[in-house]
Chains A and B, each alone.
Chain A
Amino acid sequence: MTAHGMSLDGYGETAAWRRRLAVLRRLDWTLIIAVLVLSVLGALLVRSATFQILTEQGRDPEGFLKRHIFNLVIGFGLGALVSFLDYRLLRAYVPIMYVLACVGLLVVLTPLGSTVNGSHSWIVLGGGFQIQPSEFAKVGLVVLLAMLLGEPRDGEDGPATRDVLLALALAGVPAAMIMLQPDLGTTLVFIAVVLGMLTVSGVQKRWLAGLVGGGVLLAVAVWFFGLLKPYQIARFTAFLDPSADPRGAGYNAQQARIAVGSGGVTGKGLFSGEQTGGHFVPEQQTDFIFTVAGEELGFIGGVLIVALLGVILWRGLRIASQAADLFGTLVATGVVCWLAFQTFENIGMTLGIMPITGLPLPFVSYGGSATFANMIALGLLQAVHLRRRPFD
C-alpha cells in the first residue's frame, strides 16, 4: 500500500489504469450507494416541496430541482477530489483551512453577510450564489481536532492536556462566531463534534464530565441572563408546548408534526402531499425536508431515510475503527458525530422531540454549502477508508 495512490510515476498507461481501478474497488461502495440513494430521494423531495409554489409564482417548476442536481454534481466532484487526497497531508493545510474558516465566519458578521431566516450566516456572492461559511467550518473543525487530538503518543491512552486545551480554545473561536450569527444549530453541531472526538480520542472521563457539567452550567446561565434572542426562547417554549402559539412560534413545529403524522404508514404518494402542496410548513426544501418525506412517503419512507442515514453512520464508524492511524479514526469520528447529531436534531425537530433549530438534513436537504460540506465529509471518510489498516 503506497501513500501515493494517484501518482503515475514509473508505471505505464495500463498499469496506471489498473491501479486506478484497484483504488476504485477499494472505495466503500456501500457508503457511496447509501449516499447516492439518499441524494436521489432528497432531490425528489426537494422537487415535491417546491414545484407547486414555483408554478404559482410563474417560475420554472423544476428550478429548485435543477439547482439541487447541480449542487449534487459539484458536491460529488468535491467529494471525489477529497477521497483521493492523502488525508494525512491535510494536516499541513489545517492552519490555512482554520484561518479561512474563521475569516469566512468573520465576514458573515460584517455588513457583507446577509440574513436568511433570522440567521445572519450567509455571504451573498452575486449571480444567485451564496455561501454559508459555517457549513465549511464543520469540515475545518473536524480536521483541526483530529490533528490536535490525534498527535502520535507514546503509550498514552489519551491526548495531552495541552492538546486538549488548545483544541478547545481553537474550536471555541469559530463556535463563538457562529453563536453570534446567531446559528444555534451549528453551534450545537460543534459541541457534539468536540464532545464526540474528545471521547474517542481517549481523554480522561473527568474531562468529559467537566465539559458536560460546564456546558449545562453555561446553558443555565445563558437562559437566566437572557442571552438568548426572544425568538430562540420562543422556539424552546414552542418545543415544550407546540399548541401554545399555533400561529406564531409554535407554527412550524405544529405544522411539521401535522404533515408527518398525517402521512400514516404508506404516505400520500410522492408529489401528492396536501400539507406540502399547500406550503403549510415553511422552509420545506431545506430544514423541514423530512416533513415532505413523512407526509408523502409515510412511515415506510421515513424509516428508509433513517436507515440510509444509519448505513452512512455505520460505515463511518466502521471506517473510524479500521483507520490506519488515530488521526484517521478521529476524522471519521468527527464526521460521524457531525452527521449523527445533525440527523437526530433535524428529524427530531420535525417529529417534535427536539427544539427547532436551522439545520439541514444531511444529503437530503436543498442547499449548496451544506451539500458541498456533506460531500467533502463523505470524501474524508473515503480518504480514510482508502488508507485503512491492511488486515481488515
Chain B
Amino acid sequence: MNARTHFRLVVLYVVVGALLLVLTGRMWTMQVLDGEHYRQVAAQNRTRDIVVPAVRGSILDSSGRPLVRNRTALVVSVDRTSLSRQKDRGAAVLARLAATLGTSRDELEKRVRLCGPTVKRPCWPGSPYQPIPVDDRVDPKRAIQIMERQEDFPGVTAQVQAVREYPEPEGASAAQALGYLQPITQEELDKRKGLKVTGYSAVDLIGRDGLEAAYDGDLRGAPGFRRVLVDSQGRVTGTAREQPAVAGGHVVTSLDAGVQGAAENALEKAVKAARARGEKADSAAAVVMDVRTGRVAAMASYPTYNPAIWTGGISQDEYDALLGKKKGEPLTSRVTQGQFAPASTFKISSVAAAIRDGYPLNGTYPCPGSFNVGSRAFRNFEGQAHGSMNLHRALVVSCDTIFYKFAYEQWLRDGATKPKKNPKDPMVRMARDWGFGARTGIDLPSEASGRIPDRAWKRQYWEATRATDCKAAKTGFPELARTDPTRAAYLKAIAAENCAEGFNWRAGDAANLSIGQGDMLVTPLQLTRAYAALANGGSLVVPRVAQAIVRPDGGVIRTIDAPPPPKLPVDGKVLAYMRSALAGVTKEGTAAGVFNGFDSGKVAVAGKTGTAEVYGKGDTSWFASFAPAKKPRFAVTVMISQGGTGGSSAAPAVREIYEAMYGLGGRKALLKNGRLPEELPRLTPQGAP
C-alpha cells in the first residue's frame, strides 16, 4: 500500500468518525435537550379532542309535563367539506346514500347545498362547516350499514342524537311560545361567545324564537370533551381525559298544559264559529295570566302549526307555508306580536284618565247617540242613545259618546288646534302609564310594542307620508273620480288637509284614542296585563312565561322572577269602581248574553267587550276579563281578528276558557283550587316526570 492511499484511508477514518459524531450530537440535542418539547408535540399528535354534545333541556309546564322534550334518533349527516374534497364532489357518495335512505340523489343534493338569496329550501341554512342532517328517522339497520361501510360513505355519519319532540300534553301545543330551533349560522357563531359547533347536527342548533330562543343559553348546556388517543389514521385507541357534557337545564314554565290546551281549543272553536257566521276570522290570540304575578298560564295564537316540522330539514313548501301570508303566518305569535286597536277594552284607561283629569267618579254623564267633535259627528256603537248615566253604566253598556266628550274637552283645554307648550294629554298619559305603547318585557323575543298615536307619533307619521298626501292633494284621484266622484273629492280634501296640517293632533284623534280606535294599537298581551293591573289593585306586573331553570336531576338552578311591577297612578277606589262595573258587563252588559247560564255563583267573571273597526277589514273582536271578580286570580283575554263584535266571537271563547279552568258546566276543573301550582314541580333524576 502506498503512502497516499494509506493517508487517504486515514482521512476516510476521520470523515466516517465525524459523521457518526454528528449523528450522535444531533440525537443528544433532539432526545436529551429537546426531549420534553418533542414529548409534548407527540402528545398533541396522538390525541384528538372530541366534543361530547350536551343534551338540550326540555320545556315543561307548571306541573312538569313536557311541552318540548328530546327523543333519541339516528341522524344521518353529510359533511360538505369532505364531499367537496372528493373527485366527483361527492356525487357517487350521495347516489349511494340516496339508494340506502330510499330517496333520490337530487333531493339529497338539494338538502346539502347552502341556502342563499337565490337558493330556496330545501337547503342548508347553517354554517357550511357543520355536518348537515339529511335524515333523522333512518332505520337503524341502514344507519349501521352506513357506519360499517365508511369506505363507501366518506363524509357521511350516522349518530345517535337527541331530536326535539313535541308531546302536546292535554292537546297543548303552545307552538309560538315554545319557538323553534334552527342550525347555527356563521354570524351567530361569530357573534355569540362560547357558542360551539359540536359536529352533532341535531345539537348545533340555536333557538330562533319563543322560549327556545329566550332561554337558549340555559337549555343548551355545555358540551363536554373527550381527549382520545388516536393513531395516524385517526382511529381511536383509548381515552386520555374526559370532561363530561353538562346537560342543559329544563325550563319550567308557568304554562298549564290543560289551560293552554283549552285556550287553543277555544280559539279554534271561536274562529270556526265566526267563519260560520261569515266573518273572515283570519287570526286570533288568547292569553291567561295570573294577575298577582304576571305569570302566563296559557298563550295561544291562531293560526298555529306543528313545530315538529322543523326537525330533520324543512321543505320549501313547508317553509313558505310557515312564513307566507296565505297560511296566515302561523309562526307569528299574535299574543306578543299581533297589534290591533283595542276598542272599548281600552276604556278602563280612559275612565282612569278622566278621573285623574278631575271628572267626578260618581258623576252622571249624558250618553247621546252621537257627539259632535268639532264639525264631525262621532257616533255611539250602532248610534244608540242611552240617556244620562254614571261611569259604571257607561262601561257596562259601552257608551262611546261620554268618552268622546271627555277627550274633546281635554283637547280643547290643551289648546285645540293651537296646542299649549306642554299639553296635558290625559288620555295619552294614562295609556302610557297603563303600559300601552311599550313592550311589556315578557321573556319572549320579538315582542311588539303597540302604538299610542300621540302628538309625536302624528308628526312622525306626517313627515313620513307628507309627500304622498301632497301629491294626492294636487292630482286628486282621477280614476276613482270616474266611478265615484264624491268619494274622490272627499279623499282629495282629506289629502290636502293631511298635506297641510297632518301633524296636528286633531280633536278626532283625541276622540278616537279615548275609545281605543283610530291609530291606537295594542298586543293581546299588553291588554291582558292592563286588566291584570286593574284586577290586582294597580300593579303593572311584568309577564313571565318561564318560572325556573331546573337541573335534569331536579335541583333548581335559578328561579326566574320578573322585575318589581310599577304602580298604576290610579286611586284604588277608581280601580275598585271599574272592577265592579266590569263585573256587571257579564251580568247585564254587552257580554250578558254570552255569559247567560255561566255558573257565576262559583266564579264571577268581570270583563269588557271590544269591537274595533279596521279600515277595509272586518272588526276586531275583543274580550278582556278577570276572575273571580271579587278576588281576581286570572286575567283572560281573547282577540279574534276580523271576528265580528267582541260579544259574539271573543267573549264566548273566554267563557269557555274559564269553564275549563274552573270546571264549570259539568267539566273537570283543570286548575287545582283555582290556581296555578305554587311550587315548582318535582322532577325525577331521570328527567321530566
| Chain B nearest Cβ from A204, distance in angstroms | 10
Residue interface mask B20-34, A partner, CB < 8 A = 1: 101110111011101
Which of A201, A261, A306, A309 lies in contact with B35, CB distance below 8 A? A261
**CB within 8 Å of A: which of B28-82?**
28, 30-32, 34-39, 41-42, 45-46
Contact flag A310-B46 (CB < 8 Å), given A157-B2, A200-B8: no
Q: How far is the CA of A57 from the CA of B31 in the complex (A)?
A: 32
Question: Are B4 and A258 within 8 A (Cβ)?
Answer: no
Smallest beta-carbon distance B562→chain A, Å: 55
Q: Is the pair A321, B6 in contact by a Cβ cutoff of 8 Å?
A: yes
Tell me if A261 and B20 are in contact (CB < 8 A): no
A274 to B41, CA, bound (A): 12
Docked-complex contact B12 and A264, CB < 8 angstroms = no
* Residue of chain B at shortest CB distance from A202: B4
Let me know if A262 and B35 touch, CB within 8 A. yes
Q: Is the CB of A299 within 8 A of B31?
A: yes
Residues of A within 8 A of B230 (CB): 278
User: In A317-364, which residues have CB < 8 Å from any B CB?
Assistant: 317, 320-321, 323, 326, 329, 333, 336-337, 340, 343-344, 347-348, 351-353
Q: Contacts A299-B32, A329-B1: A262 and B12 contacting too (C-beta < 8 A)?
A: no
Q: Which interface residue of A257, A278, A309 has the most chain B CB atoms within 10 A?
A: A278
Question: Is A263 interfacial (CB 8 A cutoff)?
Answer: yes
**Contact between B45 and A196 (Cβ–Cβ < 8 Å)?**
no
A279-B233, A299-B31, A329-B9 known; A262 vs B39 contact (CB < 8 Å): yes
Do B20 and A260 touch (CB < 8 A)?
A: no
Please pick, from A255, A333, A347, the residue contacting B23 in the complex, using a CB distance under 8 A: A347
Chain B residues with Cβ below 8 Å from A274 are 42, 46, 229
- Bound Cα distance A310, B233 (Å): 36
What separation, in Å, do the CA atoms of A199 and B4 have in the docked complex?
9
Q: Which of B490-534 contact A (CB under 8 A)?
A: none
Known: A264-B39, A351-B26. A202 touches B45 (CB 8 A): no
Which B residues are CB-close (under 8 A) to A278? 45-46, 229-232, 237
Q: How many residues of A contact B (CB 8 A)?
A: 52
Whole-angstrom CA separation of A279 from B28 in the bound complex: 24
Set of chain A residues within 8 Å of B467, measured between Cβ atoms:
none
B473 to chain A, nearest CB (A): 73
Contact of A250 with B by CB under 8 A: no
A351→B38 CA distance, assembly (Å): 12
Whether A264 lies near B42 (C-beta < 8 A) is: no
- B31-A264 in contact (CB<8A): yes
Binding site secondary structure of chain A: helix
Residue B457 is within 8 A (CB to CB) of chain A in the complex: no
Tell me whether A199 and B11 are in contact in the complex, defined as CB-CB below 8 angstroms, given that A278-B232, A329-B5, A336-B16 are known contacts.
yes
Interface size class of B (residues with CB under 8 A): 35 or more
Q: A59 to nearest B CB, angstroms? A: 16
- Nearest CB to that of A317 among chain B residues? B13
The answer for the CA separation of A202 and B3 in the assembled complex, in Å, is 9
Residue ID in chain B nearest A155 by CB atoms: B2
By a CB distance below 8 angstroms, the chain A residues around B45 are 255, 258, 275, 278, 280
Q: How far is the CB of B37 from the nearest CB of chain A, in Å? A: 7
CB-defined contacts of B235 to chain A, threshold 8 Å: 56
Bound together, the chains give a CA A340 to CA B4 distance in angstroms of 21
Please provide the chain A residues from 172 to 205 with a CB less than 8 Å away from any CB of chain B in the complex.
196, 199-202
The answer, among B9, B19, B32, B233, for a CB contact under 8 Å with A264, is: B32
Expressed in whole angstroms, the Cα–Cα distance for A150 and B328 within the complex equals: 102
Chain A residues near B31 (CB, 8 Å)? 260-261, 263-265, 294, 298-299, 302
CA distance A274 to B4 in the complex (A): 51
Which residues of chain B have C-beta atoms less than 8 A from A260's C-beta?
27, 30-31, 38
Given A200-B5, A302-B31: A309 and B20 within 8 A (CB)?
A: yes
A278 to B235, CA, bound (A): 9
Q: Mask for A270-301, Cβ within 8 A of B = 1, else 0?
A: 00001101111100000000000010001100
Provide the residues of chain A in CB contact with B5, threshold 8 Å.
Answer: 157, 200-202, 326, 329
- Are A302 and B27 interface neighbours, CB within 8 A? yes
Q: Nearest B residue to A303 by beta-carbon distance?
A: B24
Task: Digitize B223-240: 1 where CB-to-A-CB distance is under 8 Å, 0 elsewhere.
Answer: 000000111110101000
CB of A326 within 8 A of CB of B1, answer: yes
With A and B bound together, what is the CA distance between A263 and B38 in angstroms? Answer: 8
The answer to whether A336 touches B27, judged by C-beta atoms less than 8 angstroms apart, is no
Q: Does A5 contact B (CB under 8 A)?
A: no
With both beta carbons as reference points, the residue of chain B lying nearest to A199 in the complex is identified as B8
Measured CA separation A202–B11 after assembly (Å): 12
Q: In the complex the two chains form, is B23's CB within 8 Å of A258's CB? A: no
Instruction: Check: A384 CB closer than 8 A to any chain B CB.
Output: no
> Is A158 an interface position by the 8 A CB rule?
yes
CA distance A261 to B38 in the complex (A): 5
CB–CB A158/B4 < 8 A: yes
Q: Are B46 and A340 in contact (CB under 8 A)?
A: no
Measured CB to CB, the closest approach of chain B to A31, in angstroms, equals: 15
Report the Cα distance A259→B35, complex, angstroms: 10
- The yes or no answer to A313 lying at the interface (CB within 8 A) is yes
CB distance from A352 to the nearest CB of B (A): 8
Closest partner residue, chain A, to B233 (CB atom):
A279
Most A CB within 10 A of own CB, among B3, B16, B24, B235? B16
- Other A-B contacts than A340-B19, A343-B19, 9 sampled, CB-CB below 8 A, are A157-B5, A257-B30, A261-B34, A261-B41, A314-B13, A329-B5, A333-B12, A344-B22, A353-B22
> Could you list some 6 contacts between A and B, CB below 8 A?
A262-B42, A320-B9, A329-B5, A333-B12, A336-B16, A352-B26
The list of the 6 closest CB pairs from A to B, nearest first, reads: A261-B38, A278-B231, A262-B42, A264-B35, A299-B31, A262-B38
